[in-house]
Amino acid sequence: MKRFQCLMVTTLTLRASIDTMFCDLADALRRAGVHTRMLIDVPQAPNLPLAHGLVGDLRDYDGPRFLIDTNAKSHFNVQTADGRPLSIHDAWNIPRVTIFESNPIHHVSHLAQSPQNAVFTVVDASHLRFFDAFAITARAIDFLPHAGPPPLQDILPAADRPIDVLFIGNIKHEPPLAAWLDGQPCAPELKPALRHAIEQRWESQGDIGASLASALAAEGIAPEPRRDLTIACAAEGYVNNVKRLELLQSIRAGRVVVCGEVEATLPEAAPVTATGPTGFVKCLQLMDNAKLLLNVMPFRSGAHERVFYGLSRGAYVVSDYSTLLDLPAADGAGISFLPREPDLLDDVIADVLSSRIDERVAAGRAWYAERHTWDHRARQILALLGPLF
């Protein structure tokens, strides 16, 4: 028997969750029988001898082997006989599995250097449109949502958790919509549709790209996929920041902790504690002590990892809508959706906190443990790779 061998390549950062997620995925791959090693590098001080040694070990393995990276950032080449660079993935038949943890349109420059022997996964099914629009091909492309570790067994009951509401994420200052639209480089005739899509940020259950497409069609403007996805991506960032601030400004009671870099002014009506920029390990510790976790995200068929890491530590999650979360949200099983108006958030919070919250969280933890751990994602990756060998 020759088992799979994997090298995972990621970057160590002060605050992002990606190294935590990759470590948990590596553990899941090992539980699935994959010989897995990791290269967690620091961009300011790359360890090239270590990288070359690990890649060499992967090259020399005579069984099925693959490399996993994030956002198509890894580029390992060899020289051909005439001195040209050639990707190791094409030279040695080592598929590169790229996990996009955000919209792939942010990473077009990296994709320009992708090997032919590439596999792409996206965190939201709507991102699959990107590859056709930009004529990017791969040996396999699939929807792979974020996930979480198996639920921790030792968790605090809600009554013993000192934080009522925890919000994790950066909140950048954004200008009023009219000023923001004036600053966008797209053609003036597109801006009314763009305005309409952004104004639907609370009412619509679709992603911003779908809202923009509908608004353009209503204006009689023919679709141009590259143009439209680029415009929607800019709007996605604007909407994310505006919605986060609107939510926090609507909370009137309870102990609220905001964890992240905040450029905007937070509300004074509720007792808000802002931790400032914080590493993900500290975020996990805050989840251990929070009754409820707010999650604002642009994904409408996937989910942010905060959903699953929050549940793993016993926090109830109130999140943006996603079809991935439909089932537990319908049953109030550890997850509820944000209201269609930010002013109604206090009512949702009060409903959750006054309910049998521990029972609801237990149901949510059972739901995701059966479907959305990194063990499930590891098996999906292996199934995706199987036909390539």
What CATH number should be reported for the domain holding residue 71?
3.40.50.2000
Residue 206 in any domain: the answer is no
- For residues 182 and 331, membership in a common domain is answered with yes
The pTM of this model reads 0.94
d(CA 27, CA 66): 16
pLDDT in tens, 311-346: 999 999 999 999 999 999 999 999 999 999 999 999
Domain region containing 258 = 158-187+237-369
Residue 314 in any domain: the answer is yes
The answer to whether residue 102 scores a pLDDT higher than 90 is yes
Mean pLDDT rounded to a whole number for the chain = 93
- For residues 167 and 128, membership in a common domain is answered with no
Residue 192 in any domain: the answer is no
- For residues 284 and 377, membership in a common domain is answered with no
- For residues 130 and 106, membership in a common domain is answered with yes
Return the DSSP state at 81: T
Contact by Cβ (8 Å): 335, 342 = no
- For residues 183 and 314, membership in a common domain is answered with yes
- For residues 140 and 172, membership in a common domain is answered with no
Residue 329 in any domain: the answer is yes
Which pLDDT belongs to residue 266? 72
Long-range contacts of 50-57 (CB under 8 A, 24+ apart): 51/9, 51/76, 54/7, 55/7, 55/88, 57/7
- For residues 75 and 173, membership in a common domain is answered with no
- For residues 106 and 139, membership in a common domain is answered with yes
Please choose, from the candidates 373, 364, 381, the residue with its C-alpha nearest in 3D space to the C-alpha of residue 155: 364
Specify the residue for token string 């060899």. Answer: 78
pLDDT in tens, 351-378: 999 999 999 999 999 999 999 999 999 9
Residue 143 in any domain: the answer is yes
Contact by Cβ (8 Å): 110, 136 = no
* Total domains, the chain: 2
Please choose, from the candidates 19, 55, 64, 21, the residue with its C-alpha nearest in 3D space to the C-alpha of residue 37: 55
The answer to whether residue 44 scores a pLDDT higher than 70 is no
- For residues 112 and 165, membership in a common domain is answered with no
- For residues 280 and 384, membership in a common domain is answered with no
